[in-house]
Structure 1
């Protein structure tokens, strides 16, 4: 019987469910055909459908991804903090198959001996321990800001014990007897020590590097130890007995640490000519690396091209993640924009792994059920009962578009809704590309004054002119409970949709349920070179906002102007035609119009139409209708009648 057959036999003898129940002291609950552990053995969450066990396949899965899914061996590894080989050995012992395992172990060892001898004879390892030396240099790390300039966090700097020697390489010569080099002038440039740690936790090699890139051109940036074998940074990942789903391969030391800093394992070749060492190490440890996926990020230069050529001469299976144009290497991208680099790496891993696994829907069904069970999103009330009813309960995650002619109160209406949402407790982030923050605050104060006492209400001009400072102070104090959950981003004419997305990405790091309002569509650029109002630009903005709403599972409300031909006609899809894909992309499409507007739809005289419209504007309050054209969350063609007190920016449902 082979070792693999023996492992499979042990899995049958020791059922996963039985082992977990005994290890955790908890009895599983049965829901349908699946067993669930509550609380979760790893994160302790006390939820149903969180940690599931498939007894037919003898596999477990964490829907919250607090631990990688797998078999009993994976569970033992993570629960008892063992290596894969240690977990297998424990399973074999539990199954009382130790004797048979030792017999297969002897046969395997005999079979592998001559193979490993031939491979290992070609791979040299350093037999010297530099740990004390680099730890001493690490104590000086605060004397330089070089590593911070490379974008590295304190956690990574301390984890790898990056070091600094003010006297340069002379420090190395003076503090370690095994250094086989004689002092010479240029060695004092190499002040930064970059340790390489082996699988035993020892520093078996290190690189020294210049701190100042402006030194003489005849001084190389790095200096390797003479008389010692160049080792790969983190080659220990290939031989430490831990199975990893992904390992990145890069050329430079700081490229690897950039990837490590965001949570992914990475190996640095420390030169494209070291590919052969990588190849031999992978061959030596094929069993550990059987499920590992290698992703290479080559530099954007001739060295990167050579790296791929060298890799292609081996039998290493890999995929390439190409850096965007404008960045020479991974660390340069990391330093320039850590957030974008993190997204680049994560999306790259997801894309490549999905391509490897096959992105079939079967992979998502369990996650889909978990998402439904754990869904904590509730519709966000608008503060208007009738509006909530029309929307199906309030705002749901998706893209909402409100259109209408100019000067009809689109901003006033949505701004009032935003105030009401914030007051009820949901954070609101308002991107204003037309009005200033001060003007919007003044509108809120005006509205609050009207609600308190219509006879003493203040207009926006009254507020900003300080007509009644005592009243302004009173209403500002009341406004604080709204302002506590309301952010206004003042957009500029050259701002792009990328600016909006960057800010929302920042918000999404610390907020879960929130709402975004964008005012308004026609003044946002798709990119710095686009022209406001271009149809392709508008299409880009609309589709980008829809993608953002899906990414963060939030409602986004977008205000849009109507094309001029729709100013004097009842609201219809035609009013949005110049807005490109908006009709098809929006989840909810609605507009504001004068309530009596249909009565002029048959009027042929344009001057007469304008005259009637102006008469509508003179009314106080104005009679407005909100008309829904499309609604994926409720019924379409619904209407809501409103009274608009334009002087005080207040809408009332009637």
Structure 2
């Protein structure tokens, strides 16, 4: 059995899309909508829009869009039923027992199989570490100062030097070649033979927040590249949406979380009592990881290596934290390289003192700038002051900007009035640049040109649907001239049937309900685009009538011409020709 549409609608209606998405993406109110950085592609200027009225989201940058179900499915990689169950639980709606469809059962079985395989692999790797075969790896971990307790807690292991060791083990456990290939643990190759992804490496199992193994990281023993190797992404594992150690750090009673660079940093800090430490998974820090942190804290302390790469990583992470509503502070590691060295030299108390003295994110950025200029050279110092002013001008909140301005003037010995004048001057240019950034057009490509051609052809149909969604009162003026069958693009025709039904029944227009009737991801994106096409506002009533008349005329004439091409009935063809002549003179007047 499948869930009834009424129940699906009830769950959707009880989960406001702004409230749900706000727990994953930092949103700010702009007009009637909410905007933020898109979680589905990297961007610096927010183009992700969420509408409470339409109960839909849409990204004007990458085209991703849909309703609350679509968002959870895309963001958390869930099936529709899993998204429904999660939202039902959130809203307190009890779902009846139901049988899974064949496709749902296949997806659920694949997830369960992969979880079982990851668990078996983790147990085997840990066993090898404690065996004679893992002596070298265990010595390496002990030399790094890790205790047996930490090795066991994080489930550390060893992948043997034999290239098909894990493959043979998993095969003996009953897993097929196909299942192993999908797991990212084994490479199935009919030419080269089957071989393990990890061999001769210390293994770091990666767990989700529910303590389930979703992937692995491996550090090579001795010389070899890459030094660190991670699982590729699977149906369970997304590097940009998980953090190493968060399964333990989320239990910490600390008000902040510590973000460091790698697996060993996290384990060393946990061993020293800093159980609030986490790390990205071999990639640069992402907005999705920032929002994951935001579920547990409002403040993140960056504890990156003291070298140039560590400084660059901090400079990249700080704006991401800010954009997602988190305070960022930067811990100074100097003169030591990493947290492990610092703790060995100064102990737990020394590291705690560094946390308390950590610089605010913005001040850290200014200090980095300070070190890039020769403060003894007048020309270089002038350039530095201009760069400081540009940075301060980007602070949108007036009180915060004034606070940092006063602090920077005092710290870098700059006359406050001079710095303030510069900040105000750059502030005007920054705001102008920020406004214009929203209207930049992406570069034209052949694919974009083809999409544009198709879009232009179907634009009247799409525009009419949008018009009726935003101005349902106009339906009474066109209902006698146009119907759902006049929308000849198949997808638009399906949407028109449901939209016209809502309008005929004088219901409140519900785009999210229409969207939920479609399961194909590409169709959902296209429908979201339909309902997020912008109309020109500020027109007079007369100009609006002319514009709507033009759109209706184009849709109807295209429908007539399409039928004329496909009909062989001469009488019907003459009727259509007569109707075409009439529609060419069609106009609406509400006066």
Determine if the TM-score, normalized by the shorter chain, exceeds 0.5. Answer: no
Q: Which has the higher contact order (CA 8 A, sep 6+)?
A: 2
- Which protein is richer in helix relative to its size? 2
- Which protein is richer in strand relative to its size? 1
Task: Give TM class, smaller chain.
Answer: 0.3 to 0.5
Larger Rg: 1
